[in-house]
Amino acid sequence: MKSNEQLFARAQQVIPGGVNSPVRAFRAVGGTPRFIERAQGAYLWDAEGRRYIDYIGSWGPMILGHGHPAVLDAVLKAAADGFSYGAPTEREIELAEAIIGLVPSVEQVRLVSSGTEAAMSALRLARGATGRHKIVKFEGCYHGHADALLVKAGSGLATFGHPTSAGVPADVVRHTLVLEYNNLAQLDEAFAAQGSEIACVMIEPIAGNMNFVRASVPFMARLRELCTKHGALLVFDEVMTGFRVALGGAQSVYARLIPGFRPDMSVFGKVIGGGMPLAAFGGSKDVMSQLAPLGPVYQAGTLSGNPVATACGLATLKEIARPGFFDALSAKTRSLVTGLEQAGREAGVALVGDSEGGMFGFFFASALPQNYGVVMATDQARFNRFFHAMLGRGIYLAPALYEAGFVSAAHSAQDIAATAAAAVEALA
């Protein structure tokens, strides 16, 4: 049997840092990444045959758990008909119709292959449609690794203490304004000073790349108001939250709290591909018609709308649209957070958590952080000890304090109870 350590040593010879995406390297928490051999339901098995309850779920897509029979069946059938054609298919229309049917702010959608590609394309479209250059993003929000968005970002960049990447020329980010999340005064100031030059504001409505932090309702309401007033597009990055925190995404959560609320454009990924490389961006017909071949904003991709990925996404959306799916998932995720908080109380450790639908976060702090600076000030050393103590007990949490967690429909009440019990031991 191969060990994780042997595999990691071998990987580091041929892949930078031994991984194809930095957070997987365990640099934030230390130790050896687990090399996964297979997954089923709520579980992962590593190269050493150890089983883990999976709270990453491929960073969100695996909302049904691994190897859901209906999804597997759809993927196998689609694969038998060909992997990729580079030509349109009916399934692309079906997936676009499914997304539009579930998200009222989206009238047209274009499919791409990754969240990075979707966010980057949405940004170009927003600039092309408004004829403006400036964009606003928030500290700790991560919108993939396109140059203009790679400024003061969360996730892997927070882990390595370089919130802005090397290799991004200052000129390229000259038009990117970075504001503090949930800071109303800064928002007002930025729009007062430069509102007429702002093409769009891109935001993770519930941030999942600085752990789990919600935009407050007054902040979101004001953001909507300012974008409308100044003719800037409000772009929701729902790569993590879309079809994950609720069937209609985070925008449906805010629409319940702010009458008439909707973003102008949305970016999706993860769940809409069900674990396959698929993402999308969409908005009104007006804005989307600026895209080639109709309009002057160019965007393209050989694997866009891939027939196997669309089959996987469609089958996943069909399952999560069943009545009661999100009620059950939300209750399960909430009970996980409650269990972790209870474990904290028993150990006399300040631990606080939050969740929406099947996405959650927890912090070693006494109150939920409202922005990146406060997240960074929570107890990282304790998180790292806790992470390893949990991993040793077969609980696979995100290997960095700056990441959100994910629960799937396949997690059982016993899995959740076992996780809470492990947390009690780990904190003791």
Residue 237 designated active-site:
yes
Q: Which of 270, 396, 402, 415 is catalytic?
A: 270
CB-neighbour burial class of residue 388 (10 A; exposed 0-12, middle 13-18, buried 19+): middle
Q: Which residue of this chain has its Cβ atom nearest to ligand HOZ in the complex?
A: 21
> Shortest gap between Cβ of 280 and ligand HOZ (angstroms)?
17
Closest CA to 70 of 409, 424, 383, 369: 409
Q: DSSP labels for 385-427?
A: HHHHHHHHTTEE--SSTT--EE--TT--HHHHHHHHHHHHHHH
Q: How far apart, in whole angstroms, are the C-alpha atoms of residue 214 and residue 227?
A: 19
Nearer CB in complex with ligand HOZ: 21/366: 21
From residue 179, alpha-carbon distances to 126, 139, 206, 372, 398 in Å are 19, 6, 16, 11, 26
Residue 52 designated active-site:
no
Q: How far apart, in whole angstroms, are the C-alpha atoms of residue 205 and residue 222?
A: 13
Q: Are 117 and 281 in contact (CB under 8 A)?
A: no
Q: Which of 237, 264, 354, 415 is catalytic?
A: 237
Q: Which of 52, 55, 142, 372 is catalytic?
A: 142
Q: How far apart, in whole angstroms, are the C-alpha atoms of residue 272 and residue 288?
A: 19
> Shortest gap between Cβ of 362 and ligand HOZ (angstroms)?
16
Nearer CB in complex with ligand HOZ: 61/282: 61
Nearer CB in complex with ligand HOZ: 28/199: 28
> Shortest gap between Cβ of 89 and ligand HOZ (angstroms)?
27
Binding site for ligand HOZ (CB under 6 A): 21, 23-24, 59, 155, 209, 403
CB-neighbour burial class of residue 141 (10 A; exposed 0-12, middle 13-18, buried 19+): buried
Nearer CB in complex with ligand HOZ: 20/366: 20
> Shortest gap between Cβ of 24 and ligand HOZ (angstroms)?
5
> Shortest gap between Cβ of 44 and ligand HOZ (angstroms)?
13
Nearer CB in complex with ligand HOZ: 23/42: 23
Residue 152 designated active-site:
no
Catalytic residues: 142, 237, 270
